[in-house]
Structure 1
Amino acid sequence: MSHQPQGDRPAPTPEELSDRVEHARDQLGQTVQALAAKTDVKAQTKAKAAEVKDQAALLTGQLRDKAAQAAGLIKDKIPDPVVDKAAHAAAQMRDSTIHAGHLVADKTPGPVRDKAASAATGARTNRTPLLAAAAVLAVFLLLRRNRRNK
Protein backbone atom coordinates (compact mmCIF):
# COMPACT_ATOMS: atom_id res chain seq x y z
CA MET A 1 0.00 0.00 0.00
CA SER A 2 1.68 3.13 -1.16
CA HIS A 3 0.92 6.43 0.41
CA GLN A 4 1.01 9.38 -1.91
CA PRO A 5 1.80 12.76 -0.42
CA GLN A 6 -1.16 15.11 -0.47
CA GLY A 7 -0.71 18.64 -1.58
CA ASP A 8 2.68 20.13 -0.94
CA ARG A 9 3.44 18.19 2.27
CA PRO A 10 6.34 15.80 1.95
CA ALA A 11 5.92 12.18 3.03
CA PRO A 12 6.70 11.71 6.75
CA THR A 13 10.01 10.18 7.62
CA PRO A 14 10.22 6.94 9.59
CA GLU A 15 11.25 8.92 12.69
CA GLU A 16 8.18 11.17 12.36
CA LEU A 17 5.97 8.13 11.94
CA SER A 18 7.59 6.54 14.99
CA ASP A 19 6.99 9.75 16.99
CA ARG A 20 3.36 9.85 15.88
CA VAL A 21 2.88 6.21 16.86
CA GLU A 22 4.50 6.84 20.26
CA HIS A 23 2.30 9.90 20.79
CA ALA A 24 -0.81 7.92 19.83
CA ARG A 25 0.22 5.15 22.24
CA ASP A 26 0.64 7.69 25.07
CA GLN A 27 -2.78 9.17 24.36
CA LEU A 28 -4.33 5.71 24.20
CA GLY A 29 -2.70 4.79 27.52
CA GLN A 30 -4.05 7.94 29.17
CA THR A 31 -7.51 7.23 27.77
CA VAL A 32 -7.42 3.67 29.07
CA GLN A 33 -6.34 4.90 32.51
CA ALA A 34 -9.15 7.46 32.55
CA LEU A 35 -11.70 4.81 31.58
CA ALA A 36 -10.32 2.41 34.18
CA ALA A 37 -10.62 5.11 36.85
CA LYS A 38 -14.25 5.73 35.85
CA THR A 39 -15.07 2.04 36.15
CA ASP A 40 -13.26 1.62 39.49
CA VAL A 41 -16.38 1.79 41.65
CA LYS A 42 -14.53 0.92 44.85
CA ALA A 43 -12.11 3.83 44.49
CA GLN A 44 -14.94 6.20 43.54
CA THR A 45 -16.95 5.04 46.56
CA LYS A 46 -13.99 5.57 48.88
CA ALA A 47 -13.38 9.03 47.46
CA LYS A 48 -17.06 9.98 47.79
CA ALA A 49 -17.18 8.58 51.34
CA ALA A 50 -14.14 10.62 52.32
CA GLU A 51 -15.71 13.72 50.79
CA VAL A 52 -19.00 13.15 52.61
CA LYS A 53 -17.14 12.46 55.87
CA ASP A 54 -15.24 15.73 55.54
CA GLN A 55 -18.46 17.63 54.83
CA ALA A 56 -20.18 15.99 57.80
CA ALA A 57 -17.28 16.89 60.08
CA LEU A 58 -17.41 20.48 58.88
CA LEU A 59 -21.17 20.70 59.36
CA THR A 60 -20.94 19.06 62.77
CA GLY A 61 -18.42 21.66 63.88
CA GLN A 62 -20.59 24.47 62.55
CA LEU A 63 -23.68 23.07 64.28
CA ARG A 64 -21.76 22.67 67.53
CA ASP A 65 -20.64 26.27 67.37
CA LYS A 66 -24.16 27.50 66.62
CA ALA A 67 -25.62 25.39 69.43
CA ALA A 68 -23.06 26.71 71.89
CA GLN A 69 -23.80 30.24 70.78
CA ALA A 70 -27.57 29.70 71.10
CA ALA A 71 -27.12 28.11 74.54
CA GLY A 72 -25.07 31.11 75.63
CA LEU A 73 -27.74 33.51 74.40
CA ILE A 74 -30.49 31.56 76.15
CA LYS A 75 -28.47 31.29 79.34
CA ASP A 76 -27.89 35.04 79.32
CA LYS A 77 -31.64 35.71 78.95
CA ILE A 78 -32.75 33.42 81.79
CA PRO A 79 -33.02 35.32 85.07
CA ASP A 80 -30.70 34.14 87.86
CA PRO A 81 -33.54 33.26 90.27
CA VAL A 82 -34.97 30.85 87.68
CA VAL A 83 -31.58 29.20 87.17
CA ASP A 84 -31.12 28.87 90.94
CA LYS A 85 -34.61 27.42 91.36
CA ALA A 86 -34.01 24.88 88.55
CA ALA A 87 -30.69 23.81 90.09
CA HIS A 88 -32.38 23.43 93.49
CA ALA A 89 -35.22 21.35 91.95
CA ALA A 90 -32.69 19.12 90.16
CA ALA A 91 -30.79 18.56 93.39
CA GLN A 92 -34.01 17.67 95.22
CA MET A 93 -35.00 15.24 92.46
CA ARG A 94 -31.58 13.60 92.55
CA ASP A 95 -31.74 13.21 96.35
CA SER A 96 -35.29 11.79 96.17
CA THR A 97 -34.26 9.30 93.51
CA ILE A 98 -31.28 8.14 95.53
CA HIS A 99 -33.46 7.79 98.64
CA ALA A 100 -36.09 5.81 96.72
CA GLY A 101 -33.40 3.52 95.32
CA HIS A 102 -32.09 2.83 98.82
CA LEU A 103 -35.60 2.08 100.10
CA VAL A 104 -36.27 -0.36 97.27
CA ALA A 105 -32.88 -2.04 97.77
CA ASP A 106 -33.51 -2.40 101.51
CA LYS A 107 -36.99 -3.93 101.09
CA THR A 108 -36.15 -6.25 98.18
CA PRO A 109 -35.40 -9.84 99.21
CA GLY A 110 -31.86 -11.14 98.55
CA PRO A 111 -32.80 -13.79 95.95
CA VAL A 112 -34.72 -11.20 93.93
CA ARG A 113 -31.74 -8.82 94.02
CA ASP A 114 -29.46 -11.66 92.90
CA LYS A 115 -31.78 -12.52 89.98
CA ALA A 116 -32.03 -8.85 88.99
CA ALA A 117 -28.24 -8.50 89.06
CA SER A 118 -27.88 -11.67 87.00
CA ALA A 119 -30.43 -10.40 84.45
CA ALA A 120 -28.68 -7.02 84.25
CA THR A 121 -25.32 -8.70 83.67
CA GLY A 122 -26.82 -10.92 80.97
CA ALA A 123 -28.40 -7.91 79.29
CA ARG A 124 -25.09 -6.02 79.32
CA THR A 125 -23.18 -8.93 77.77
CA ASN A 126 -25.83 -9.51 75.07
CA ARG A 127 -26.64 -5.87 74.39
CA THR A 128 -26.60 -5.99 70.57
CA PRO A 129 -28.94 -8.96 70.10
CA LEU A 130 -31.20 -7.58 72.83
CA LEU A 131 -31.41 -4.19 71.12
CA ALA A 132 -32.04 -5.84 67.76
CA ALA A 133 -34.86 -7.92 69.24
CA ALA A 134 -36.35 -4.81 70.87
CA ALA A 135 -36.22 -2.98 67.53
CA VAL A 136 -37.92 -5.87 65.74
CA LEU A 137 -40.60 -5.99 68.43
CA ALA A 138 -41.17 -2.23 68.19
CA VAL A 139 -41.53 -2.40 64.40
CA PHE A 140 -43.92 -5.34 64.71
CA LEU A 141 -46.07 -3.51 67.26
CA LEU A 142 -46.14 -0.33 65.17
CA LEU A 143 -47.17 -2.25 62.06
CA ARG A 144 -49.84 -4.09 64.00
CA ARG A 145 -51.22 -0.85 65.42
CA ASN A 146 -51.27 0.78 61.99
CA ARG A 147 -53.18 -2.15 60.49
CA ARG A 148 -55.78 -2.00 63.25
CA ASN A 149 -56.30 1.74 62.76
CA LYS A 150 -57.07 1.37 59.04
Structure 2
Amino acid sequence: MSEKNGSAKPDLAVLREEIKQTRAELGETVQALAARADVKARAREQVEHTKERVLTQAAAMTGRVREKALVASERVRGSAVEPVRTSPFPTVLVVAGLAAVVGVILIVRGRR
Protein backbone atom coordinates (compact mmCIF):
# COMPACT_ATOMS: atom_id res chain seq x y z
CA MET A 1 0.00 0.00 0.00
CA SER A 2 2.33 2.73 1.14
CA GLU A 3 6.00 2.55 0.70
CA LYS A 4 7.05 4.03 4.10
CA ASN A 5 4.63 2.83 6.77
CA GLY A 6 2.00 5.44 6.25
CA SER A 7 4.27 8.47 5.85
CA ALA A 8 3.07 9.13 2.30
CA LYS A 9 -0.58 9.17 1.28
CA PRO A 10 -1.30 6.35 -1.14
CA ASP A 11 -2.83 7.24 -4.43
CA LEU A 12 -6.56 6.50 -4.28
CA ALA A 13 -6.72 5.25 -7.88
CA VAL A 14 -3.82 2.84 -7.29
CA LEU A 15 -5.49 1.50 -4.16
CA ARG A 16 -8.77 0.96 -5.99
CA GLU A 17 -6.96 -0.85 -8.79
CA GLU A 18 -5.16 -3.10 -6.26
CA ILE A 19 -8.47 -3.83 -4.53
CA LYS A 20 -10.08 -4.66 -7.89
CA GLN A 21 -7.21 -6.97 -8.81
CA THR A 22 -7.26 -8.66 -5.39
CA ARG A 23 -11.02 -9.21 -5.66
CA ALA A 24 -10.60 -10.76 -9.08
CA GLU A 25 -7.87 -13.08 -7.83
CA LEU A 26 -9.94 -13.97 -4.78
CA GLY A 27 -12.95 -14.71 -7.00
CA GLU A 28 -10.88 -17.04 -9.18
CA THR A 29 -9.53 -18.80 -6.09
CA VAL A 30 -13.03 -19.25 -4.68
CA GLN A 31 -14.27 -20.65 -7.99
CA ALA A 32 -11.36 -23.10 -8.14
CA LEU A 33 -12.02 -24.25 -4.58
CA ALA A 34 -15.74 -24.60 -5.26
CA ALA A 35 -15.03 -26.70 -8.34
CA ARG A 36 -12.75 -28.98 -6.34
CA ALA A 37 -15.35 -29.30 -3.59
CA ASP A 38 -18.19 -30.17 -6.02
CA VAL A 39 -17.89 -33.95 -5.79
CA LYS A 40 -20.97 -34.67 -7.92
CA ALA A 41 -19.71 -32.61 -10.84
CA ARG A 42 -16.26 -34.17 -10.62
CA ALA A 43 -17.81 -37.65 -10.48
CA ARG A 44 -19.96 -36.88 -13.55
CA GLU A 45 -16.91 -35.65 -15.44
CA GLN A 46 -15.02 -38.80 -14.51
CA VAL A 47 -17.94 -40.98 -15.63
CA GLU A 48 -18.15 -39.17 -18.96
CA HIS A 49 -14.42 -39.50 -19.48
CA THR A 50 -14.57 -43.21 -18.66
CA LYS A 51 -17.55 -43.72 -21.00
CA GLU A 52 -15.70 -42.08 -23.88
CA ARG A 53 -12.60 -44.17 -23.21
CA VAL A 54 -14.59 -47.42 -23.01
CA LEU A 55 -16.54 -46.65 -26.18
CA THR A 56 -13.31 -45.92 -28.02
CA GLN A 57 -11.75 -49.15 -26.81
CA ALA A 58 -14.91 -51.11 -27.65
CA ALA A 59 -14.93 -49.73 -31.18
CA ALA A 60 -11.28 -50.66 -31.62
CA MET A 61 -11.84 -54.16 -30.26
CA THR A 62 -14.92 -54.63 -32.45
CA GLY A 63 -12.84 -53.80 -35.50
CA ARG A 64 -10.15 -56.26 -34.48
CA VAL A 65 -12.68 -59.02 -33.80
CA ARG A 66 -14.38 -58.45 -37.15
CA GLU A 67 -11.07 -58.63 -38.96
CA LYS A 68 -10.09 -61.85 -37.20
CA ALA A 69 -13.54 -63.36 -37.77
CA LEU A 70 -13.33 -62.53 -41.46
CA VAL A 71 -9.91 -64.12 -41.74
CA ALA A 72 -11.08 -67.20 -39.82
CA SER A 73 -14.24 -67.57 -41.89
CA GLU A 74 -12.27 -67.29 -45.12
CA ARG A 75 -9.86 -69.94 -43.85
CA VAL A 76 -12.75 -72.26 -42.88
CA ARG A 77 -14.55 -71.71 -46.18
CA GLY A 78 -11.45 -72.49 -48.13
CA SER A 79 -10.62 -75.64 -46.22
CA ALA A 80 -14.04 -77.13 -45.42
CA VAL A 81 -16.14 -76.52 -48.52
CA GLU A 82 -14.05 -78.41 -51.03
CA PRO A 83 -13.82 -81.74 -49.15
CA VAL A 84 -17.59 -81.72 -48.56
CA ARG A 85 -18.33 -81.09 -52.21
CA THR A 86 -15.96 -83.76 -53.47
CA SER A 87 -16.75 -86.42 -50.85
CA PRO A 88 -19.76 -88.71 -51.52
CA PHE A 89 -20.01 -89.54 -47.82
CA PRO A 90 -22.45 -86.70 -46.87
CA THR A 91 -24.74 -87.68 -49.74
CA VAL A 92 -24.84 -91.26 -48.51
CA LEU A 93 -25.69 -90.06 -45.00
CA VAL A 94 -28.52 -87.87 -46.28
CA VAL A 95 -30.02 -90.74 -48.29
CA ALA A 96 -29.72 -93.11 -45.30
CA GLY A 97 -31.37 -90.55 -43.02
CA LEU A 98 -34.27 -90.06 -45.42
CA ALA A 99 -34.73 -93.82 -45.72
CA ALA A 100 -34.81 -94.14 -41.92
CA VAL A 101 -37.43 -91.37 -41.63
CA VAL A 102 -39.61 -92.97 -44.31
CA GLY A 103 -39.25 -96.37 -42.60
CA VAL A 104 -40.32 -94.96 -39.23
CA ILE A 105 -43.35 -93.26 -40.82
CA LEU A 106 -44.42 -96.48 -42.53
CA ILE A 107 -44.05 -98.51 -39.33
CA VAL A 108 -46.07 -96.00 -37.29
CA ARG A 109 -48.83 -95.89 -39.92
CA GLY A 110 -48.91 -99.67 -40.14
CA ARG A 111 -49.68 -99.99 -36.42
CA ARG A 112 -52.83 -97.88 -36.68
Aligning the two structures, in what range does the TM-score lie when normalised by the shorter sequence? 0.5 to 0.7
The percentage of aligned residue pairs carrying the same residue is: 23
- Cα pair distance change 1:18/1:71, threshold 3 Å: same
Q: CA deviation at 1:64?
A: 0.4
Aligned residues of 2:2 and 2:9 also touching (Cα < 8 A): yes
Q: Which residue of 2 aligns with 1:17?
A: 15
Aligned partner letter, 2:56: L
- Cα pair distance change 1:81/1:73, threshold 3 Å: closer
Q: Which residue of 1 aligns with 2:75?
A: 77
Distance 2:54 2:36 in 1: 25
Distance 1:65 1:15 in 2: 65
Could you list the structure 1 runs, at least 4 aligned residues long, displaced by more than 4 angstroms after superposition.
none
Unmatched segments (≥5 aa) in structure 1: 89-150
Aligned residues of 1:4 and 1:11 also touching (Cα < 8 A): yes
- Cα pair distance change 1:83/1:17, threshold 3 Å: farther
Distance 2:27 2:36 in 1: 14
The normalised TM-score by structure 2 is 0.63
- Cα pair distance change 1:66/1:81, threshold 3 Å: closer
Q: CA deviation at 1:73?
A: 1.1
Ranked by relative contact order (alpha carbons within 8 Å, sequence separation 6 or more), the top structure is: 2
Q: Which residue of 2 aligns with 1:95?
A: none
- Cα pair distance change 1:60/1:83, threshold 3 Å: farther
The normalised TM-score by structure 1 is 0.48
1:29 alignment partner, one of 27, 30, 33: 27
Root-mean-square deviation over aligned CA pairs: 2.4
Distance 2:59 2:26 in 1: 45
Per-residue displacement from partner, 1:91-118 (whole Å, max 9, x unpaired)?
xxxxxxxxxxxxxxxxxxxxxxxxxxxx
Per-residue displacement from partner, 1:17-36 (whole Å, max 9, x unpaired)?
01101110110010000000
Unmatched segments (≥5 aa) in structure 2: 85-89, 91-112
Aligned residues of 1:5 and 1:11 also touching (Cα < 8 A): no
Aligned residues: 81
Q: CA deviation at 1:82?
A: 2.3
1:113-124 paired onto structure 2 within 5 Å: none
